[in-house]
A and B are shown apart, each in its own frame.
Chain A
Amino acid sequence: MRVATAQSHESSTASAIRAAFDAIVDELGGAPDWLLVQSAIRHEPEALRSALVSVGARRVHGASSCLGVMSQAGVDTAGGLGMFGIRDARGSFGVGMAALDDDPAAAAGAALQQAIDAADRQGELPALIWLSASPGHEEACIAGIEAMLGQGVPIVGGSAADDSVAGDWYLLTLDANLGDAVVVTALYPSTALHSAFQSGYAPTNERGRVTASEGRTLISVDGEPAAAVYDAWTDGAIAAARPAGGNILASTTLFPIGRRVGELAGVAYYRLAHPESVTPEGALRLFADVAVGDELVLMRGTSEALRTRAGRVAADALALARLRPNEAAGALVIFCAGCMLTIRDELDDVVASLREVLDGVPFLGCFTFGEQGCFVGGENCHGNLMISVTVFAKA
């Protein structure tokens, strides 16, 4: 198992793909058996796809990332792209993609079946599912995958993103690119891998129960308009936006809404929902589904924690894998785009924290509009403002 990562800042998509792919091939000593491509939307998806075909890439899993990517070489939020390549002759990898249409669960199931067939491992449980989906239906996508595989496989990934939540995100494989789709890779590597998934926020004493909701729109909490309740909990974090409604991403990043997933040793752990906008009617729109009856907890974070958390999640992933950095082939980092935007000027600190922990291990990080991962207790979840680090062992 060998891993290589590469970034390219070339303005031409074809040149950027060529430069990054050549670097990957040089590092791996041959074409990768699986290639993850994350790109800012500055690169058009069809141009990316055709460039990837022309360089001879195989088994490509592609998704857009907010503003850019980061790797051990540094962070790029100026519209670049990054690649993460695995060369593993004894492993198998397969990629599938399906349009979400009106049944995201079925689409995820279909993409999974394509991926397993492409890996030529029919009926075999993958070691990991890497998931990328358009924002909006990630829970259904996870449910669609679990309907086939059960809950015994970690599902990790991040939602496709654009630069301004304008719906310009995309997903791609070598066969097609789509704006509203799900891409699934079934990974059967020859070596072990482990993933850590954390929120990094602490619960406050502010709590309430959902009394009205529609999908990702939180209408009321304890019978009161959701925006009013949230504004009260946060001492007016969204007061300015409430009358006319609008985007509140930046002002809510440090105050997400948590829902209890489970507990270990009596201590609860949470998945987060990031309020992205407020409606003039007083509802909150989130990046994750909520349901009537859900118990909500206001979570609180700090920008200092956001700067250093990725390194600590990477340390947890290595510890879970029982690996020293020199035993790891590579790492994939999913970093919430909301968190990234909050500390955009301090992203070098994030990269530094990852470099310090991973100590020479190549990694690729992307900035997503929703994060999927597996908690310590084994639950696969979609959440917001989360960070995941997945490490691949060399042997």
Chain B
Amino acid sequence: MSNDELLRESVSRLEQALAAERSRRDEAEATLAGLRCITDAGDLAATDAALLEGLQPLLRYQAAAILLRSREDGEVFAATSADHPALLTLRWRSGPLLERVLGGQTVALFDLRRTPELAALAETSDIRSALCVPLSTSTRAALLLGVHDQPAFFTQRQVALAQGFAQTATRVLENLGAREHLHRRQIAEEQAAALARTNAALREQVATIGAQLDTIHAQQAQIQRLRAPVLQVGPQTLVVPVVGELDQEALVEITETLLHAISERRARRVILDLTGFESADAAIADRLRSLARAIALLGARCVLTGLRPALALTLSDSALEVMAFATLADAVAAIRD
């Protein structure tokens, strides 16, 4: 070969190497730009919007959308957001083309009117060509659909660029998805731990309150016992010294306790010692009468002792017919006699 031809061939080879390097640089820059979009965005939802904006200068689409599997119909892919009204209403039903894209193949469509799966998009809009870029991860089926109003706008060069980007981006998206999943799991675990701690604290509080309630109940019982203890002073004689107020609640408790004791101990007489009892209103007379009747219904007699004058006066106005003694000792003595 002549020196001239060798020189030209060397120059030609260098030109080709230069063109190849430019191509690789474009591809690397595209990939980096897209990856920056992903990493800057932080989470998958924000990544989608950033990707559409970040890849536009490279892939040169007029509008684009990220299509995801519809929640209502698993056979349909739809845009979550888009900057073209026709893309927003697009419902891409699964077919061989969509399956190829979801399988990882980047596809340029030179005329949507000839593409059965997307012909409707061309019929209802000015969109004529499209570039489909797979962006699926193990947890999310997704693709980027870039569109243009010029037929045959997208070239094999753009297919190669997009394919190179998609291969790297998918791995990054996979990591991002995994990180998000891990993050969500960590948050869930932290929330579960916090909930467990709260439950334990609540259980502890409930236990404490329960113990306090038990104490209160015990104290109430003790108070009740102290307010109206049932004492047996003879084989068939019970004494109940009534102390403090005899309100309705106390009357019920005294009645229950007393009737149970009468029945259990087969008592025939019950002495209600009112020495420590100070009230003298009409309601007290009614309550004492009720108590006396209940005692009588069990076959025992009710005897009152220690009546204060005011109470005696009140009882005298009522229809209560019971024996009464001045003191408990008198009553006990009388019963023994």
A residues with a Cβ closer than 8 A to B are 116, 120, 122-125, 127, 148-154, 196, 198, 200-203, 264-265, 267, 269, 300-302, 304-305, 308, 312, 316, 319-320, 322, 376-378
Contact = CB atoms under 8 A, between A and B. Distances in A.
A376 B15 contact: yes
16 contacts: A123-B109, A125-B107, A125-B108, A125-B109, A125-B156, A149-B152, A152-B158, A154-B156, A201-B5, A202-B4, A267-B11, A301-B5, A302-B2, A320-B20, A378-B155, A378-B157
A154 B114 CA distance: 21
A150 B110 contact: yes
Contacts of B17: 319
Contact of A202 (B5, B18, B97, B116): B5
B15 A153 contact: no
Contacts of B18: 264-265
Interface string B1-25: 1101100110111111111100000
A122 B116 contact: yes
B112 interface: yes
Interface string B99-143: 000000001111111111010000000000000000000000000
Contacts of A203: 8
Contacts of B115: 122-124
A302 B4 CA distance: 11
A124 B15 contact: no
A305 B2 CA distance: 9
A378 B158 CA distance: 12
B168 to A, nearest CB: 16
The SS class assigned to the B binding surface is helix
Contact of A302 (B1, B11, B14, B109): B1
A122 B16 CA distance: 33
Contacts of A202: 2, 4-5, 8
B13 A125 contact: no
A149 B20 contact: no
A122 B108 contact: no
Contacts of B8: 202-203, 267
A151 B154 CA distance: 9
Contacts of B16: 196, 264, 316, 319-320, 376
Nearest to B103: A90
Given A150-B153, A152-B108, A378-B155, 6 more contacts: A116-B114, A125-B159, A150-B151, A267-B15, A312-B9, A319-B16
Contacts of A378: 155, 157
Contacts of B74: none
Contacts of B85: none
A115 to B, nearest CB: 13
A148 B19 contact: no
Contacts of A201: 5
A152 B157 contact: yes
Contacts of B309: none
B61 to A, nearest CB: 14
A264 B154 contact: no
Contacts of B108: 124-125, 152
A316 B154 CA distance: 25
Contact of A267 (B12, B114, B151, B154): B12
B107 A124 contact: yes
A123 B110 contact: yes
Nearest to B19: A376
B117 to A, nearest CB: 9
B235 interface: no
Nearest to A312: B9
B14 to A, nearest CB: 7
A151 B17 CA distance: 22
Nearest to A127: B156
A201 B112 CA distance: 42
Contacts of A305: 1, 5
Nearest to A264: B15
A196 B19 CA distance: 13
B152 to A, nearest CB: 3
Contacts of B151: 150
Nearest to B17: A319
A264 B118 CA distance: 39
Given A123-B114, A202-B5, A377 B157 contact: no
A23 B17 CA distance: 38
A316 B109 contact: no
B55 to A, nearest CB: 18
A241 to B, nearest CB: 26
Most buried by B among A124, A264, A304, A319: A124
Most buried by A among B9, B118, B158, B159: B9
A300 B13 CA distance: 18
Contact of B110 (A124, A265, A319): A124
A154 B155 CA distance: 10
A196 B17 CA distance: 12
Nearest to B163: A192
A5 to B, nearest CB: 25
B20 A265 contact: no
The 9 closest A-B CB pairs, nearest first, are A152-B155, A123-B115, A150-B152, A125-B108, A123-B114, A264-B15, A202-B5, A202-B8, A305-B1
A336 B96 CA distance: 40
Contact of A149 (B11, B14, B15, B110): B110
Interface in B1-56: 1-2, 4-5, 8-9, 11-20
Contact of B156 (A148, A153, A196, A300): A153
Contact of A150 (B2, B4, B97, B155): B155
Given A122-B116, A124-B115, A153 B2 contact: no
Most buried by B among A122, A200, A301, A308: A122
